Amino acid sequence: MTDKKDNLETAAHPEKLRRVAIDPVSRVEGHGKVTLLLDENDRVHQVRLHIVEFRGFEKFIQGRPFWEAPVMVQRLCGICPVSHHIAASKAMDMIVGSQLTPTAEKVRRLMHYGQILQSHALHFFHLCSPDLLFGFDSDVAKRNIVGIAAAYPEIAKQGVLLRKYGQEVIRVTAGKRIHGTGSIPGGVNKNVSVEERDYLLKDIGQMIEWSRASVGIARQLFEQNLDLYNSFGRFKAHTLNLVRADGALDLYHGGLRARDLNGNTLFDHYDYSHYWDVIFEDVKPWSYMKFPFLRSLGPETGWYRVGPLSRVTQCDFIPSPLAEEQRKVFMAFNGGSATGATLGFHWARMIEMLHAAEVIQELLHDPDLQGNDLVNIGKRQARGVGVIEAPRGTLIHHYKVDEHDQITRCNLIVSTTHNNQAMNEAIRQVARQYIDGRKLTEGLLNHIEVAIRAFDPCLSCATHALGKMPLEVELLDAEGGRVDVLARASDGTFCSPG
């Protein structure tokens, strides 16, 4: 094996190196760890983000009736279950040959944008603001949401109430704040009553105002720490996202757009029901998470970035006035430097949160929400693909259903899975910038976590490499030192990686 010192994925001689683990990675959804291999001079030779749990929904959904999928698969996640609920429903719309009624599509859109609002608020305020407001290597005892509530009570309050509002939108449309049942194959099972609409309208103005302020916080952080925010974990990547037919940002529906790291369009408005012609998935022996890549570029260089940073920078415009104004500021800032920065995710995410609040307001004024034409069923199909832009990025659900209504095949390419290689690139870049050759401290290691958190990964959603499960067993001595290790690779062979 050659020493891939430059890409830091695999060290040539791991047996001679010291292993440092960040386990678990905190303030992210799901369970993951980062391992670093360092030599006696603290030079970094290998950095990997590992996902240490296995979910397997793709397997145990097989045999279940298709109408169960939108409710079952959303149990993948407790933070953005609506994303899976709706993506599966869109796939089932194809199965039942449905053209959604206006009421059904708008109720689903309302549910989805409520989800975007609550998830983005949760991520920015609860999970990341401690790093951003206190500093990456600040006192670890205060670097949490409780510390934020003590030092910045107004910001903490706004974060909590923004999330609560998004959860209320979900409750009204799905029946429950978490794991509702509102979206069904071919439509929805309820509309939004006048009382429910008025209840949500009451506070939407305040939510838009707070979302605007949140964009301001993200921008100020960039302005005040320009060098750090521009360079931290920076790397160039291809991008993938949905766009509306007119090129606008649309998080519910659209065609696929991919651009290379120089901004050249690889494909645009691509019909996602044939996504496998442009996207493929690679498997690596050291991770439960698959590594998707653009077919035209191949597995080595075809990895890409999804999520708010890709969406906001690659759409032609945002179809809501306040968010569009902020997008233009973001794109023009410092010659466009924020659009390629890993920490630019936060700024883009807050622009999307503002957009979500504006969309919610617009939808709430739409009388179609009170319509009673909820479901439309057409000619039955055997295959269904549903794609949406979830809070963390492009989410693909793909099912095959037999003549007995049972699911026979399921493939999920989850937002975080798309970002797998990009996250690894980010932490390797941070390792080069901040870890390599230095004595490790908790603050320095937190820099790695800060880079991961920027992607807002949902690690539990993303682990489905069934049948190719790598496994590593470590033998430790009484002091916790590694005595021996045995690993099973994805091809079923065993080796002792040292």
Partner 1 sequence: MSDTFQLDGASVPFEPGQTVMQAALAAGHYIPHLCYHPEFKPHGSCKLCTVKVGGRTAASCTMPAEVGLNVESNIEEMNGLRRTLVQMLFAEGNHFCPSCEKSGNCMLQALGYDLEVHTAGFRHLYPDRPVDASHPDILLDFNRCILCELCVRASSEVDGKNVFALSGRGITKHLIVNAESGLLKDTDIALTDKAMQVCPVGVILPKRVGFSVPIGKRRYDQRPISAQALDDAPRQADASGSCAACEGTP
**Closest CB to partner 1 among residues 198, 268:** 198
Instruction: Name beta bridge partners: 208.
Output: none
Q: In angstroms, rounded to a whole number, what is the distance separating the alpha carbons of residues 154 and 371?
A: 39
Q: In angstroms, rounded to a whole number, what is the distance separating the alpha carbons of residues 322 and 328?
A: 10
Nearest-approach distance from CB 187 to partner 1, in angstroms:
9
Q: Which residues have a Cβ under 8 Å from the Cβ of 382 and sit 6 or more positions away?
A: 95, 400, 401, 402
- Residue from the set 175, 216, 367, 467 that interacts with partner 1 by CB under 8 A: 175
- Residue from the set 19, 33, 43, 190 that interacts with partner 1 by CB under 8 A: 190
Alpha-carbon torsion (191, 193, 199, 205), positive or negative: positive
Answer whether 109's CB lies under 8 Å from 364's CB: no
Nearest-approach distance from CB 396 to partner 1, in angstroms:
21
Q: In angstroms, rounded to a whole number, what is the distance separating the alpha carbons of residues 423 and 427?
A: 6
- Residue from the set 30, 130, 159, 182 that interacts with partner 1 by CB under 8 A: 182
Binding characters for partner 1, 74-113, by CB under 8 A (x = yes) = -x--------------------x-----------------
Nearest-approach distance from CB 339 to partner 1, in angstroms:
40
Return the HEC string of 183-224: EECCEECCCCCHHHHHHHHHHHHHHHHHHHHHHHHHHHHHHH
Site residues (CB under 8 A) for partner 1, limited to 264-323: none
Stretch that binds partner 1, among 25-33, 48-56, 363-371, 398-406 (CB under 8 A): 398-406
**Closest CB to partner 1 among residues 169, 454:** 169
Site residues (CB under 8 A) for partner 1, limited to 402-431: 404-406
Stretch that binds partner 1, among 2-10, 60-68, 410-418, 444-452 (CB under 8 A): 60-68
Nearest-approach distance from CB 403 to partner 1, in angstroms:
9
- Residue from the set 179, 383, 432, 488 that interacts with partner 1 by CB under 8 A: 179
Looking up tokens 């033998």, which residue turns up?
475
- Residue from the set 26, 35, 138, 189 that interacts with partner 1 by CB under 8 A: 189
**H or E element that contains 416:** helix 415-418
Nearest-approach distance from CB 179 to partner 1, in angstroms:
7
In the 8-state DSSP scheme, what is residue 228?
Answer: H
Q: In angstroms, rounded to a whole number, what is the distance separating the alpha carbons of residues 455 and 344?
A: 10
Q: Is 379 in the site for partner 1 (CB under 8 A)?
A: no
Q: Is 185 in the site for partner 1 (CB under 8 A)?
A: yes
**Closest CB to partner 1 among residues 194, 476:** 194
- Residue from the set 68, 282, 368, 472 that interacts with partner 1 by CB under 8 A: 68
Stretch that binds partner 1, among 59-67, 129-137, 209-217, 291-299 (CB under 8 A): 59-67
Q: Is 71 in the site for partner 1 (CB under 8 A)?
A: yes
Please give the backbone phi and psi of residue 254, each rounded to the nearest 5 degrees, phi first: 165, -165
Stretch that binds partner 1, among 184-192, 245-253, 319-327, 416-424 (CB under 8 A): 184-192
Binding characters for partner 1, 115-154, by CB under 8 A (x = yes) = ----------------------------------------
Nearest-approach distance from CB 327 to partner 1, in angstroms:
36
# chain residues binding partner 1, by CB under 8 A: 25
Nearest-approach distance from CB 76 to partner 1, in angstroms:
11
Angle of CA points 385, 177, 110, to nearest 5° = 55
Q: Which residues have a Cβ under 8 Å from the Cβ of 374 and sit 6 or more positions away?
A: 101, 103, 104, 107, 187, 188, 189, 190, 191
Looking up tokens 């029901």, which residue turns up?
273
Q: In angstroms, rounded to a whole number, what is the distance separating the alpha carbons of residues 229 and 137?
A: 15
Q: In angstroms, rounded to a whole number, what is the distance separating the alpha carbons of residues 235 and 111?
A: 34
Q: What is the CA radius of gyration of the chain?
A: 22
Angle of CA points 285, 422, 287, to nearest 5° = 20
Q: Is 181 in the site for partner 1 (CB under 8 A)?
A: yes
Closest CA to 444 of 430, 457, 454: 430
Q: Is 64 in the site for partner 1 (CB under 8 A)?
A: yes
Answer whether 47's CB lies under 8 Å from 35's CB: yes
Nearest-approach distance from CB 369 to partner 1, in angstroms:
14
Count the Cβ atoms, other than its own, within 10 Å of residue 226. 14
Nearest-approach distance from CB 331 to partner 1, in angstroms:
42
Answer whether 457's CB lies under 8 Å from 79's CB: no
Nearest-approach distance from CB 174 to partner 1, in angstroms:
8
Question: Which residues contact partner 1 (rule: CB under 8 A)?
Answer: 63-65, 67-68, 70-72, 75, 96, 174-176, 179-182, 184-185, 189-190, 375, 404-406
